Structure 1
Amino acid sequence: MAPSPPPTPTPSPTHCSPASAAPNPTERACTVSARARDQLWDAVTDVVGEGAAVLVHSAPTEHGYAIRTVGTRRRVPMNFDGLTLMRMTGVPQQAGTV
């Protein structure tokens, strides 16, 4: 008899896993309480420095989610009649480059 595989863990309120099809190993998909989410976001904004961070979470909006961003980024959320779309900006140019 072959051993049975271990049971798949059920997501808990603080379950995190790498985002499916994540191009960056630091991206995570998590389920946490609103309080924990806000505390995590406060910690991220304190340490982001020259980097960038994006938080997308469920919210009581028309489309069902909210987007928060911090730091230098090329994608800027813009509100178009209640619909949040991402506006792409140019790549930042360094001084002395053409």
Structure 2
Amino acid sequence: MFIHIGENVIIHSKDVVAILDRQLVKSSSIISEFLEKQAQPIVELTAVDYKSVVVTVEKIYFSPLSSSTLKKRSQLPLDIESVVEEEVTKA
């Protein structure tokens, strides 16, 4: 299955490692550090503020589409927000 992630860019869903919400990226120093240290090319799909970050095997995309929209398009059963929420409720 393929996912349209904005600005006429389509990726294969099996290549998706994570779909991260913009607010999560901006509020988490760990995720920010991860993005800074990546050797993968970063592709900014929008000239204005991005709404989500799509991490794939080969690239990192800053997408103008929200993480919830991308999740629906990819039909992934789990995204990073639900993992974080589960960890917080367990603590």
Fold shared, TM-score > 0.5 on shorter chain = no
Structure (1 or 2) with the larger CA radius of gyration = 1
The structure in which a higher percent of residues are helix is: 2
> TM-score scaled by structure 2?
0.25
> TM-score scaled by structure 1?
0.24
